[in-house]
Amino acid sequence: MKNCRTALIVFVVAWTTRSFAESSGSPVFLSALAQSDVIGIGTYGGRESGGTRINNITYWLGDTGTNSVLLTPLKWLDGPLLPTSTETNNTVIFLGTRFGWNSFPSNAVFRTRPLTAWELREKLSQAGARDQTPSESLLFPGAWTRVNTNTAMTINFVSNVVQSLCVSPDLIRYSQSLIPPLDVGWDNELSLFKADAHMEMLKLGWGESEDFLVDVLNDPLQPRKFRGHALFQLQKRFGWSETNTVPEL
C-alpha cells in the first residue's frame, strides 16, 4: 500500500457496553465521519493477512465495487480501538476513504474557534482528493465494533448523520440528526456518541450563522441547554437584547 495513494480511514463505533461508555466519551466519531468517502454497514469477517475483513456490505456513501472490504490498520495501531469482542458475522459499521484528501486551509485549524465536523467536511469537499486512484484496501487508525442486533437506534443515528453531513449536506438537518444522544443516560447505547454530539452542537453555536442559531433556539426537539446556548450566542455575536428569553415551547 503506497502512502501517497491512501488516506485516513477510520472505522468508528456503532454500539458498545455501558462500562465502555462510562470510560469513553472520546470525541472522534464526527470528525472521522467528515473525512470519509466510503461508509457502510456489513458483517465482521475476521482477521486476515493485512487487516480486518468486512463482508455483506450495504453502502451509505461511496462504493468500492464489491460487497467486501479489507480494513488495513496503521503500523502503529494494529488492533481494535475499542475494547469490544466481535465474532464472525456480527453487524458492524465502517467508515473511511480510499482517496487522499488535500490539506484544507491552515486558517481552519490555527485559530481560537474550534473546527466543527460540518466545516471540516465542507472544506475537504471543496479541496477534493490528492489522488483519484483508489487504494486497494482501506487504511484506518481505529477499528470496528459490533452493532446491537436487537435495536436500530445506532443504525438510525449513524445513517441520519451520514445523510445530512455527507450525502446531502444540510446544516439544519445535521444539527437535528445530533439530537438523539444529547440527553441519554450512560446506560443507553447512544451514550458513546454523547460527548461528541454535545461538543459539536457547542462548536456549531460558536461559529454558525444567525439564521442557524434562530432555528436551534426555536426547535422544540433540541434540549433546552442548547437552545439557551443559541440565545447566548445571538446576544453575544449578533446583538440580541439581553431581555430575550428562550421560548417556552
- For the stretch 67-84, pLDDT in tens is 998 877 644 344 443 334
Cell of 149: 442486533
CB 53 within 8 A of CB 70: yes
Output 177 or 79, whichever has higher pLDDT: 177
What is the helix (H) or strand (E) element at residue 204, kind and residue range? helix 194-207
> In this model, does residue 111 exceed pLDDT 70?
no
Question: Residue 245: CA atoms inside 13 Å, Cβ hemisphere, count?
Answer: 3
Residue 212: is its pLDDT beyond 90? yes
Query: 146, 14 in Cβ contact below 8 A?
Result: yes
Map out the domains of the chain as residue ranges.
Answer: 3-208
Q: Lowest mean pLDDT of 29-33, 119-123, 164-168, 198-202, name the range.
A: 29-33
* pLDDT > 90? residue 249: no
Task: Check residue 226 and give its pLDDT.
Answer: 97
Q: For residue 44, what are the β-bridge partners?
A: 54
Say if strands 38-48 and 91-96 run parallel, antiparallel, or are unpaired: antiparallel
